[in-house]
């Protein structure tokens, strides 16, 4: 597991470098007197570049360059951090926008190889556990990164927070290089191994991807429109920050449990239980939408998130041929990005018609569709068994 942990540390510092600037992107743009539309455009360019570059990252990884992609992703993050600092010193909003785009592209390179390599380096029978530990590092980076970035920017300014992106990405590249030197030979593509990308159409991969899509549509509704509701009620923004912290903590605590359970019992029952916790959380959110009682729903959502995600990753990627697993990782994670974008747009239309409160009764319904896509392989198997 040593190689897995080197990979985990690289993942932790890579996403720490991303999340450390999350709370300061919009305030920095506002400080440069950017128009609201430009603020939204620059904030979204990272996600857009990440989405469209994931197939590129998948193709690179499947051609035997996984560790190249891991190192390059971190190096591009380091360069983006340096450009952030320069843009802060020069008050250049366009340079900052370019840096955000570069950082998004680095995510598309890094993420597929990070996920597929964790699967390939995991000991036999412990793939779910390895994915769980990796998920913990991802969650930890996203829990503490915003707090560090917000504090540093308050104390020494935006440039200080941006400098941390370069520092953390450099450390991530260091761990990726060590992992490459120790495990690079293990992941060289086999000469005789053949696999077609058509195998991504296998029912388990499609089912897990579509379930992830519905999962992220509903989750996007929470993280986008709950803070908007609190703001419309003139509640402090910190209250939603606490809500997200509760989600992050409970997700962090259940990741390894979800992965280990998926190894022992199979992914399906673990995903089912995780989604049931999410469904309960969404239902309670409609009953208790204001703090402090709303934090109960945050705990359930976080726990369900932590249990379901590594099990869904195992279901989607565990049985894929290694030759196409990196592309599979990229396509699979694209469904999360697409779900988030879809949820924000479609539920935004609902909010426009019925107000922010009108969004939340739809979340259990949307997630309920995820149960249908999840059990499609079972239904498919029974139909063909007759």
Q: What is the pTM (predicted TM-score) of this model?
A: 0.85
The CA distances from residue 79 to 75, 193, 285, in Å, are: 6, 36, 41
- What is the assigned CATH class of domain 1-190? mainly alpha
Contact between 81 and 164 under an 8 Å Cβ cutoff? The reply is yes
Per-residue model confidence as pLDDT tens digits over 262-319: 999 999 999 999 999 999 999 999 999 999 999 999 999 999 999 999 999 999 999 8
Cβ burial 247-273 (10 Å sphere, 16+ → b, else e): bbbbbbebbbbbbbbbbeeebbebbbb
Each residue's pLDDT, cut to its tens digit, for the chain (386 residues) gives: 678 889 999 999 999 999 888 778 878 888 888 776 677 678 778 888 988 999 999 999 988 899 999 999 999 999 999 999 999 999 999 999 999 999 999 999 999 999 999 888 888 889 999 999 998 898 888 788 888 888 888 889 999 999 999 999 999 999 999 998 887 666 665 545 566 888 898 999 999 999 999 999 999 889 878 888 888 898 886 787 788 888 888 999 999 999 999 999 999 999 999 999 999 999 999 999 999 999 999 999 999 999 999 999 999 999 898 889 999 999 999 998 898 888 888 888 898 899 999 999 999 999 999 999 999 877 766 544 45
Token couple for 289: 């939408």
d(CA 201, CA 199): 5
Q: Quick count: other Cβ atoms within 10 Å of Cβ 349? A: 10
Class of domain 199-386: mainly alpha
Residue 108 is encoded by which pair of tokens?
């598309």
CB 94 within 8 A of CB 32: no
SS3 content of the chain, % helix, strand, coil (to 5): 90, 0, 10
pLDDT score recorded for residue 176: 94
Residue 296, phi then psi, degrees to nearest 5: -65, -45
- φ, ψ of residue 20 to 5 degrees: the values are -65, -25
The CB-side HSE value for 253 (13 A sphere, CA atoms) comes to 12
Largest CA distance in the chain: 69
Dihedral of alpha carbons 209, 211, 214, 217, sign: negative
Q: What is the pLDDT of residue 253?
A: 93
Provide the 8-state DSSP code for 64. I
Per-domain residue ranges for the chain?
1-190, 199-386
Q: Do 199-386 and 1-190 have the same topology in CATH? A: yes
Alpha-carbon distances, residue 358 vs 150, 204, 228, 300, 366 (angstroms)? 31, 34, 12, 21, 14
pLDDT value for 35: 78
């Amino acid at each position: 597991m040593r190689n897995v942990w080197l990979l985990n540390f690289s993942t932790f510092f890579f996403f720490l470098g991303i999340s450390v600037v999350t709370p300061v992107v919009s305030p920095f743009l506002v400080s440069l007197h950017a128009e609201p539309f430009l603020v939204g455009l620059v904030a979204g360019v990272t996600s857009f570049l990440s989405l469209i570059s994931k197939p590129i990252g998948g193709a690179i990884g499947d051609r035997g360059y996984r560790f190249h992609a891991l190192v390059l992703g971190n190096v591009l993050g380091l360069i983006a951090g340096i450009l952030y600092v320069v843009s802060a010193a020069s008050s250049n909003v366009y340079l900052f926008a370019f840096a955000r785009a570069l950082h998004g592209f680095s995510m598309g390179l890094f993420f597929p190889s990070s996920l597929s390599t964790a699967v390939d380096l995991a000991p036999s029978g412990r793939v779910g556990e390895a994915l769980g530990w990796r998920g913990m590092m991802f969650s930890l980076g996203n829990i503490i990164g915003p707090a560090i970035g917000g504090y540093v920017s308050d104390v020494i300014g935006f440039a200080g927070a941006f400098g941390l992106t370069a520092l953390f990405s450099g450390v991530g590249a260091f761990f990726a290089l060590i992992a490459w030197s120790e495990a690079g030979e293990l992941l060289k593509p086999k000469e005789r191994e053949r696999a077609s990308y058509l195998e991504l159409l296998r029912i388990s991969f499609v089912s897990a991807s579509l379930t992830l899509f519905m999962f992220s549509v509903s989750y996007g509704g929470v993280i986008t429109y709950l803070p908007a509701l609190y703001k419309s009620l003139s509640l402090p923004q910190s209250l939603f920050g606490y809500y997200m912290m509760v989600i992050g903590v409970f997700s962090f605590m259940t990741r390894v449990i979800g992965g280990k359970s998926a190894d022992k019992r199979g992914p399906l029952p673990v995903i089912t239980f995780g989604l049931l916790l999410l469904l309960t959380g969404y239902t309670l959110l409609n009953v208790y939408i204001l703090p402090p009682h709303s934090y109960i729903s945050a705990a359930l959502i976080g726990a369900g998130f932590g249990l379901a995600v590594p099990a869904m990753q195992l279901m989607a990627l565990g049985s894929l041929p290694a030759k196409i697993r990196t592309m599979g990782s990229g396509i699979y994670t694209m469904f999360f990005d697409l779900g988030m974008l879809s949820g924000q747009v479609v539920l935004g239309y609902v909010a426009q018609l019925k107000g922010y409160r009108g969004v939340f009764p739809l979340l259990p319904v949307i997630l309920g569709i995820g149960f249908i896509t999840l059990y499609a392989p079972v239904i498919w198997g029974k139909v063909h068994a007759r």
